[in-house]
Amino acid sequence: MGRPAGRVEQDELRSRMRAAGMSHDEIAVEFARRYRLRPRVAHRVARGLSQTQAAANLNVHAARLGMDSAGRAPMTGSKLSELENWPLPLRRRPTPRILALLAEVYDTSIHNLLDLDDRENMPPADLMVISQIGNGPLPAAHHAVAGGAAQEALIDGSIVSTTAAIDNSERERPSAPVLGSDVFDEMSAIGVDGIDSVEHWVELLSLVAGKSSVSGAGSVWGLARRQLALLDACRRMSTLENRQLLAVQARWSEFLSWLADNLGRARAGRKWAELAFSQATEAGDHRTASYVLMRRAQQAADQGRGGEAVALGEGAASLDSSSVCTAALCLVRQAHGHALNRDATASRAAIRQADLLLASVEPDPDPLDGHCTDLYVAAYEGRCRLLLGDLDGSTRILEEVLAAWPAGLSQDEVMWRAWLADAHTAAGRAAEAGAEGLRALELAQAMGSTRADTLLDGMAGALAENDRVVEVGQFLAARRVVSAARRR
């Protein structure tokens, strides 16, 4: 049985418009005009997708971002139909999270998926979130500044916690920064009922974190800060039990700490982690407090402080044992610290314990620590073996991890590739080091990963005497281009 006449006509028109060099966005505009389609329908049809196909693509993308770790594939063609036809009665309302996912699947702006009917019927809180997403990514700061104090420029002081404030520059300020009055005016204007939901803020954090895993820390840095400022205002005006939103705020603060670390802002990363720990402790959220202390252990290990990493990892594990993933991460930090201290026996024992933990119990799919998988632990085993001098073992493990690593989760992949390049360098395999170093360098620039950049800087110095090796020469040339761009 052939396609309905309308579909055939649309397929032919789409092919003509693509042949004429028109973008999918332009095709969607024409389809909406010619066939009187709502915007979400127009963008789907412009890409030649049925509702079932688009729903499947959405499920795959959500899983890739870590937002459907259980693999439930919740979107269906019929559900998508309801989302496309809202605000008609008895239809599902598209949330900012779903709209952002659709925008990425259709490779368009979230605003292109909304029309006047949507905007007139959406809750003000949803419109506020969508407007923030629409502000677009900020450039990764480490591309604009170079070295030392400039790279540690702290976050702007957009919030005041109940226990501490974060400065907005390297220089100490006489008084703590406070939320601007415009934030409170905005909150008062829309009311708090729409956005004082714990679920709202947890889902939004999951969406923003997923975006950073694919596009890098710099792509969400400004958005995350603005949302945390709004959450802080919401919490202080909310009628909800204050501790519930404070616990969520602790998770957002920890996320800012992770972003800062990846952007090379070590001081800001430490301060955000300290703030997150105090918030989680005040809220009585032992699981998040344990996770944040584990992150402090990671910060110590990344800066070469092995003994401190072991102590913090042990302390984090003693705070809470409810999460298998966080417990495994605590062991990974201890293993890293032991490797820095050249204690191979203790390091390998901690890695084995982490593997056994993950294999023995079904992990709770919490986005806070759901990234801790057997592959993640294996990557750190590769790093520990490198620090302990087992270069062949390190290379083998890291190559296996990269071969199995999910496509698109680039924020971690760039570190694994940098570690593999470092292992090749230490083993004297110059050609392999240059080739892998170039891959890591390209990914580091795309993701804005200063953590990887720092490692590759050291590697470039070690490889300088092998510059006649073709792969090394290509890597060093690309490295010089990146360094020159930083100095501008």
Last residue of a domain, one of 237, 266, 295: 266
Same domain, 31 and 51: yes
**Which pLDDT belongs to residue 345?**
97
Closest CA to 179 of 221, 237, 102: 237
- Asked whether residue 445 falls in the same domain as residue 357, the answer is no
pLDDT given for residue 1 in this prediction: 38
Residue 216 lies in a domain: yes
Structure tokens that stand for 486 in this block: 């930083």
pLDDT of residue 360: 84
Tokens read off for 164:
């501490």
Strand-pairing partners, residue 165, are 160
Query: Is 297 a domain residue?
Result: yes
Which pLDDT belongs to residue 488? 66
Could you give the number of structural domains in the chain?
A: 4
What's the gap between Cα 399 and its chain centre? Answer: 23
User: Does a structural domain hold residue 137?
Assistant: no
Going from the C-alpha of 369 to that of each of 60, 86, 310, 349, the distances in angstroms are: 20, 34, 19, 22
DSSP state of 142: G
Residue 222 CA to residue 244 CA, distance in Å, equals 24
Helices (H), 169-262: 181-190, 198-215, 221-237, 242-262
3-class DSSP state for residue 165?
Answer: strand
pLDDT tens for the chain, residues 1 to 488: 344 547 888 889 999 998 899 999 999 999 999 999 999 999 999 999 999 999 998 888 877 776 655 556 688 988 899 899 888 876 788 888 888 889 989 999 999 999 999 988 888 767 766 776 644 333 333 332 223 322 222 233 333 333 334 434 333 332 222 333 333 333 333 344 445 578 888 888 988 888 888 888 888 898 899 888 888 877 777 655 568 889 999 999 999 999 999 998 989 999 999 999 999 999 999 999 999 999 999 999 999 999 999 999 999 999 988 899 999 999 999 999 999 999 999 999 999 999 999 998 776 668 888 889 999 999 999 999 999 999 999 999 999 999 999 887 888 999 999 999 999 999 999 999 999 999 999 999 888 888 888 889 888 889 999 989 999 999 999 999 888 877 66
Answer yes or no: is 135 within a domain.
no
Q: Is 155 among the domain residues?
A: no
Match 């679920």 to its residue by tokens: 199
The reported pLDDT for the residue numbered 194 is 47
293 and 381 share a domain? yes
235 and 172 within one domain = yes
Quick: pLDDT tens for 316-359. 999 988 899 999 999 999 999 999 999 999 999 999 999 999 99
Residue 311 has a pLDDT of 95
Q: How far apart are CA 178 and CA 139, in angstroms?
A: 25
5: tokens are: 């006449």
With respect to residue 92, please indicate whether it lies within any of the assigned structural domains: yes
Can you tell me the distance from the alpha carbon of 461 to that of 447, in angstroms, rounded to the nearest whole number?
A: 23
- Are residues 242 and 306 located together in one domain of the fold? no
Q: Examine residue 337 and state whether it is found in any structural domain, yes or no.
A: yes
pLDDT value at residue 91: 72
Task: Please write down the long-range contacts of 374-382, taking CB distance under 8 Å and 24 or more positions apart.
Answer: 375/401, 375/404, 375/405, 376/332, 376/412, 377/328, 377/332, 377/351, 379/412, 379/415, 379/416, 379/419, 380/332, 380/335, 380/336, 380/351, 381/335, 381/351, 382/416, 382/419, 382/420, 382/423
Same domain as 421, residue 397: no
Structural domain contains residue 195: yes
Say whether 83 sits in a helix, a strand or coil.
helix
CA distance 322 to 90: 40
Residue 392's pLDDT is what? 96
Kindly state the tokens that stand for 288. Answer: 């998040």
- Residue range of the domain that includes 437: 417-488
Residue 373 sits in the same domain as residue 471: no
Quote the distance between the C-alpha of residue 245 and its chain's center: 21
Q: Is 177 exposed, middle or buried (0-12, 13-18, 19+ CB in 10 A)?
A: middle
The counts of H helices and E strands in the chain are 24, 0
Predicted local distance difference test score (pLDDT) of residue 377? 97
Which residues, listed in sequence order, are joined to residue 160 by a DSSP beta bridge? 165
Q: Which two tokens mark 51?
A: 């509702």
Same domain for 424 and 397, yes or no, is: no
CB neighbour list of residue 174: distance below 8 Å, 6 or more residues apart: none
- On whether both 319 and 253 belong to a single domain, the answer is no
Q: Report the C-alpha gap between 350 and 338 in whole angstroms.
A: 9
Domain end: 102, 122, 142, which one?
122
One domain, residues 117 and 192: no
User: Alpha-carbon distance 357 to 326, whole Å?
Assistant: 10
Tell me the CA end-to-end span of the chain in Å, nearest whole number.
Answer: 62
- In the listed set 405, 439, 471, which residue is the last one of a domain according to the structure? 405
Q: Are residues 289 and 212 in the same domain?
A: no
- Residues near 131 by beta carbon (within 8 Å), at least 6 away in sequence: none
- Let me know whether 447 and 372 are in one domain: no
